[in-house]
Amino acid sequence: MTSTVPSTPRQSGQIGGPADPIGGVPGAPMTSRAAQLVARVATGLDGAPVQMPAPYTGLPVATLPQAGAAEVRDVFGRAREVQTRWAARPVRERQRVLARIADLVLQHQAEALDLVQVEAGKARLDAFDEVSATALVAGYYGKHSARILAPKRAAGVLPLLTTAKELRHPKGVVGVISPWNYPLALTAMDVLPALAAGNTVVQKPDNQTALSALWLHELAEQAGLPADAWQIVLGRGSVIGDTLVEESDYVCFTGSTPTGKRLAGQIAERLTSYSLELGGKNPMVVLPDADVRKAAAGAVAACFSSAGQLCVSVERIYVHESIHDEFVRALAERTEALTLGGALDFRAGMGSLTSEDQLRTVSSHVDDARAAGATVVTGGRPRPDLGPYFYEPTVLTGVTEKATLFREETFGPVVSVYPYSDVDEAVARANDTDFGLNASVWTRDPRRGAEVAARIKAGTVNVNEGYAATFGTVGLPMGGMKDSGVGRRNSAEGLLKYTEAQAVAVQRGLRLRPPRAVPARVWTRVMTSGIAALKRLPRR
């Protein structure tokens, strides 16, 4: 195996720094816009406000009011009042609001890109992933909700005499808890289908990235969403989480596996339904026939988009031994060509980590892997010269089982590459994890790729792509197996989870008990023949 000398990814123009507060970025008066957005939630909150720093600079962008339990209860009360009126609107009308949101997001994308960059610290192209995912998901439910929610006929127990259909009713008020890493896209993916189904929503975004959620909220009201149908509460999970869970008729949580497990315990007490979108340790398998250069380019996007702070990003790569060294060289070369920087333009290929906590975790995982015998092929250093939380995209080889990141999610721009000798071994190693969120397979033979994909225990698997093919195909379900979650977002499933199924059957003529004149023995014989005959009827 060949190692390349660690090098320094290039840097682009920076913004921020003590003399250049982020609010002063030309063309992006973010602090005043932030204040306008925050004003949308600023009434009646009495928790101590918190300051939200911009990752590029560490300087504050917004002061966020914080709710306490009493405010959260008030907000749910208002959401409950509006819910029956919102649900009474025809689905097509609700659907049209979502279709308009899709248009507005595309029209006003420049502002969304600025906001996502400023509060999450990501590169502008990665922020555009959020804009496109938001428009795609709003467009999808803006087009398909009425079809998905339409009453479905089912074959009744007695042909012609039992007419049966399945209805879908909204759950009520849905509580949505969102993380900081994909603030716009995950808000859209979790909130919009809940609204389309006739629910109202109370969302708790992460303080770090509340502005993106507030921005989409503003657009939704412009698109015709009634006031209070979607409300945003700001506050720490440890302070308002319990109340939010207690008040919700359905909880949609996206975040880490430990928090998800804790919440699931609380929710189960109340027999409320929920979905959990949790962490991953996503593998990529490079088959022996793969195009090495394409696979390496794909790996850079799969591992370093949003500085690796993406639940579906790749952290483990298994490469056939015949092409392992060539792959590592190509990956290192492309990684070193990534431009790091924090500017509100498209020059940088990778942005900053989002917080000091993230920098601490990433640094400690890499240092620990190194101490446990790993080789740092490239990267492996913080870059305070670029901004307080920048860290180089990092490729490791020779990672041993002793290293924390061998099994644990790093959630940063760090990937480990391992050689394997046969495909069964690669599949077994890909599956040797408690997680099961996303995976990627690279090959010149798409059919072979699809066969291997089906053997990997992950909720989404991409062939010749890292994550974007499934992530962008919003008509497909997205979510995790094993410790990566419960339930799915996107697709029909992501809408139906926010509904209660109701079966309605109308019986005519014969009842389903023997008439008084017919002995039970005769009745059971007739029914037995009938059930057997039903089995033989052609399927409809």
Q: Which residues bind ligand NAP (CB under 6 A)?
A: 177-182, 186, 204, 206-207, 236-238, 241, 254-256, 259, 263, 277-280, 311, 409, 411, 437, 480, 485
Nearer residue to ligand NAP within complex by CB, 9 or 183: 183
Nearer residue to ligand NAP within complex by CB, 180 or 418: 180
User: Is the distance from CB of 395 to CB of 412 less than 8 angstroms?
Assistant: no
| DSSP per residue, 269-315 | HHT-EEEEE----EEEEE-TTS-HHHHHHHHHHHHHGGGG-STT-EE
Nearer residue to ligand NAP within complex by CB, 204 or 320: 204
Q: Is the dihedral of CA 13, 18, 21, 24 positive or negative?
A: negative
Query: And the tokens for 350?
Result: 């990778």
Say how far residue 107 (Cα) sits from the centre of its chain: 23
Q: At what angle do helices 257-270 and 237-247 cross, to 10 degrees?
A: 40
**Closest distance of CB 311 from ligand NAP, Å:** 3
Cα separation, 304 vs 174, in Å, equals: 33
Q: Identify the three-state secondary structure at position 24.
A: helix
Nearer residue to ligand NAP within complex by CB, 263 or 303: 263
Q: Is the dihedral of CA 297, 299, 304, 310 positive or negative?
A: positive
**Closest distance of CB 234 from ligand NAP, Å:** 9
Q: Identify the three-state secondary structure at position 326.
A: helix
Query: And the tokens for 399?
Result: 């990672």
Nearer residue to ligand NAP within complex by CB, 70 or 504: 70
Cα separation, 345 vs 128, in Å, equals: 11
277 in active site: yes
Instruction: Give bridge partners of residue 416 from the DSSP assignment.
Output: 316, 396
**Closest distance of CB 251 from ligand NAP, Å:** 9
What is the separation, in whole angstroms, between the first and last Cα of the chain? 58
**Closest distance of CB 449 from ligand NAP, Å:** 23
Q: Is the dihedral of CA 55, 56, 59, 65 positive or negative?
A: negative
User: Is the distance from CB of 22 to CB of 54 less than 8 angstroms?
Assistant: yes
Query: And the tokens for 264?
Result: 């699931």
Residue 51: other Cβ atoms inside 10 A: 11
Q: By C-alpha distance, which of 141, 55, 144 is closest to 102?
A: 141
Cα separation, 126 vs 349, in Å, equals: 9
| Catalytic-role residue among 119, 130, 277, 409 | 277
DSSP label at 197? Answer: T
Nearer residue to ligand NAP within complex by CB, 146 or 496: 496
**Closest distance of CB 79 from ligand NAP, Å:** 17
Query: And the tokens for 149?
Result: 């929610």
**Closest distance of CB 238 from ligand NAP, Å:** 6
Nearer residue to ligand NAP within complex by CB, 345 or 408: 408
**Closest distance of CB 438 from ligand NAP, Å:** 9
**Closest distance of CB 372 from ligand NAP, Å:** 22
Nearer residue to ligand NAP within complex by CB, 242 or 325: 242
Cα separation, 291 vs 295, in Å, equals: 6
DSSP label at 453? Answer: H
Nearer residue to ligand NAP within complex by CB, 234 or 286: 234
Let me know how long the chain is. 540
**Closest distance of CB 246 from ligand NAP, Å:** 11
User: Is the distance from CB of 413 to CB of 391 less than 8 angstroms?
Assistant: yes
Residues in contact with 160: Cβ distance below 8 Å, sequence separation at least 6, in sequence order: none
Nearer residue to ligand NAP within complex by CB, 27 or 265: 265
Which stretches does DSSP call E strand in 421-486? 438-442, 460-463, 485-486
**Closest distance of CB 461 from ligand NAP, Å:** 15
Residue 539: other Cβ atoms inside 10 A: 4
- Catalytic residue numbers, as ranges: 277
